[in-house]
Amino acid sequence: MSQELLSEKEPLFWTCDDNAETLSDTEMDEAIESYLDRFWPSAWEFKDRENERVLAFVAALPAKLEVYGFVRSVVPAHMLDPDDVIDEAMQKLDEDELGDAFGDTSWEDRISPEGLESVKAAAYAFTAAVLKNYVPWSCDKVKTVEVDPLVWIKENRPEWLDGASHKAGIA
C-alpha cells in the first residue's frame, strides 16, 4: 500500500516519542497524558508543598508537544512470492534425502505439469491468505499533531492545576 493511502488511515496507536520501540496508547489523549506525567516532580521532594510542586511541573513542561499517530505496516506482496514459496518447499524436500543425491536433476523434474499447476494454485491461494490475514508488529507513522501541553491540561486534566493556577498565572 502506498504511503499516500497509509496516511488516509486513522491511527491505531499514538505516542509522543518519535523513536518509540513499542506502541501501546490507542488514544491520542492517553499518549499525551503518559508523556506529560513524566514532568511531575516527586511528591517526596515537595512534601507538604503541593502548590510549589504544581508550579515546578508547569515550569518543566515543553512549550509545544508533537504527538505521532501510527498504523500497522502493510506487507508488500513481493515479500511473499508464491513461486518462491514453492521453490523453498521443493528444495526442502530435496534436501531431506528425497531428492537426487547426485544433484543431476532438480525438483522440477520430479513433478508432473498437472501436479505443478495444482501446487501453484495452492501456493497462490496460500500466499494470498497469509498476506490478507497477517498482522505485522511494525507500524508506520501517518499523522503528526502539535499540542500545547498547558492548554491540553486545562481542557483534559484541570485537576492537575488545582490550587496553583492563580499563583502561576495559568488560570
Q: Are residues 8 and 61 in the same domain?
A: yes
**Res. 2: pLDDT tops 70:** no
**Res. 53: pLDDT tops 80:** yes
Which one, of 45, 20, 16, 52, lies nearest residue 33 by Cα? 16
The grid cell for 114 is 498437472
DSSP 138: -
Q: Are residues 122 and 93 in the same domain?
A: yes
Q: pTM here? A: 0.70
Give the pairing of strands 13-15 and 139-147.
Answer: unpaired
Q: How far apart (Å, rounded) are the C-alpha atoms in residues 71 and 69?
A: 7
Q: Are residues 17 and 67 in the same domain?
A: yes
Q: Are residues 18 and 45 in the same domain?
A: yes
pLDDT, tens digit, for every residue of 114-158?
Answer: 999 999 999 999 999 999 999 998 999 999 999 999 999 999 999
Q: Are residues 107 and 64 in the same domain?
A: no
Which one, of 152, 164, 2, 4, lies nearest residue 66 by Cα? 152
**Total domains present in the chain:** 2
**Res. 1: pLDDT tops 50:** no
Q: Are residues 20 and 49 in the same domain?
A: yes
pLDDT, tens digit, for every residue of 56-110?
Answer: 888 899 999 999 999 999 888 888 899 999 989 888 888 767 777 777 777 787 8
Which one, of 41, 36, 37, 34, lies nearest residue 65 by Cα? 36
Q: Are residues 21 and 70 in the same domain?
A: yes
Q: Looking at residue 151, what is its pLDDT?
A: 94
| Paired residues of 141 in beta bridges | 70
Q: Are residues 58 and 38 in the same domain?
A: yes
Query: What's the average model confidence in pLDDT over 29-44?
Result: 87
Domain range for 129 is 79-133
Query: What's the average model confidence in pLDDT over 16-29?
Result: 93
| Paired residues of 14 in beta bridges | 25, 69
User: For every residue of 40-94, which 3-state class applies, written as one string?
Assistant: CCCCCCCCCCHHHHHHHHHHHCCCCEEEEEEEECCCCHHHCCHHHHHHHHHHHHH
Q: How far apart (Å, rounded) are the C-alpha atoms in residues 122 and 62?
A: 56
